[in-house]
Structure 1
Amino acid sequence: MLSKTSVRFAILFMWSFFFPSWFYVSKGVLEDYLDLLNHADLVQVSIITLWLPVGFLGVLLYLLFLTPKAFVRGEKIKEIYRSQTIKIWDKIVTIFALCGIAFAVAWTYHSIDLLEKYGYVYSRDLTRITPTGIHLMYVKAR
């Protein structure tokens, strides 16, 4: 059994890592889309990164609803909540993850349609591969 302090530090770490990470990536995805809508000279489409804004909401909701009680008590979530509650939350997280995949696919097709409509051309030289995915770069055709 972990000490209460260890559990609290783990929860604080999760809060301080997951919420800012989700916000940072979601903000980047939104900025990429706004670049496209504003007809910027260079537009980025990050297919894998598009999963995160919707797909990660289940994890964030899990943290918002289940960890405060665990933080106050200093106990693991599985020691506080019934197994049925944990199973329901597992399903919620899975549903959001699947919705995130669907969102990423739909948003990619929508973005590619707008890129063609606005006259952008794919640039293989500018495309980057990073740990967060493949960042396809499109340049405004003159």
Structure 2
Amino acid sequence: MQSIKVNRIAVFFSGLFINAIVWGIWCWLVFITYETFRNISTHFDLVEINVVGLWVPVGIVGAGLFTLASPLVALITGRRSDEVWGRTGLMIANYIAAFFAIAGIVVAIFFYHLMTKKLEEKGYVYCRSLTTFSAMGRYEVYVAKPELCVKPNKIP
């Protein structure tokens, strides 16, 4: 494979742009997960748990680290990061990303059970009629009072 010279300023700004997007989305999703914990602790009437979203705070960190390291290597060396790291380096990066993805699953399962246990202790009831599915997974809804578990009428 022929070596390609990289414009370091272009690498800097593209790396900055990619990292702003990746870490911005990560911060937003972590904030949403934090809001669920806060809603449980402040005893809101309706608590919505994004089951898949619990994976995000830990699961995406491996890919995020790669987006931080790759532009830095290209910026410092002036070559593409995969050329500098080689086959072994890319394998290690893949193992790190896979480790964080698996750790994210373990953490998500742990916190899901922790949150549902706390909800049961505080007297919340699972509301199947308000539970929804979306592109980000399943949103389970728990209500403090059973009379709140009413699906709103659709507009005719």
TM-score by length of 1: 0.86
SS in 1 for 2:44: coil
How do residues 38-117 of structure 1 correspond to structure 2 at under 5 angstroms? 38-72=42-76, 75-117=79-121
Query: Looking at CA atoms only, which structure, 1 or 2, has the larger radius of gyration?
Result: 2
Please list every run of at least 4 consecutive aligned residues from structure 1 whose deviation after the TM superposition is greater than 6 angstroms. none
Deviation at 1:124, TM superposition (A): 2.2
- 1:16 and 1:55 mapped to 2: Cα distance? 18
Helix, strand or coil: the match of 1:61?
helix
From 3, 6, 9, give the equivalent of 1:4.
6
Over the aligned positions, Cα root-mean-square deviation in angstroms equals 2.3
Range 126-135 or range 7-16, more displaced: 7-16
Structure 2 unaligned regions, length at least 5: 147-156
Q: CA deviation at 1:30?
A: 0.7
1:11–1:71 Cα contact (<8 Å) kept? no
What secondary structure sits across from 2:131 in the alignment? strand
Q: Please, which runs of 5 or more residues in structure 1 have no aligned partner?
A: none
Does the CA contact (< 8 Å) of 1:4 and 1:73 recur in 2?
no
Distance 1:13-1:74 versus aligned 2 partners, 3 A rule: farther
Matched, 1:36 2:32: no
Task: Report what 1:119 is aligned to.
Answer: 123
1:19 is matched with 23
In the TM superposition, residue 127 of structure 1 has moved relative to its aligned partner by 1.9
The residue that corresponds to 2:135 in the other structure is: 131
Q: How far 1:11 moved relative to its partner?
A: 3.0
Identity over aligned pairs, percent: 28
**Judging changes above 3 Å, is the alpha-carbon distance between structure 1 residues 72 and 120 closer, same or farther for their aligned structure 2 residues?**
same
Name the aligned partner's letter for residue 130 of structure 2.
L
C-alpha spacing 1:138/1:89, structure 2 compared with 1 (3 Å): same
Report the AA paired with residue 6 of structure 2. Answer: K
Return the TM-score normalized by structure 2: 0.79
Letter in 2 for 1:81: W
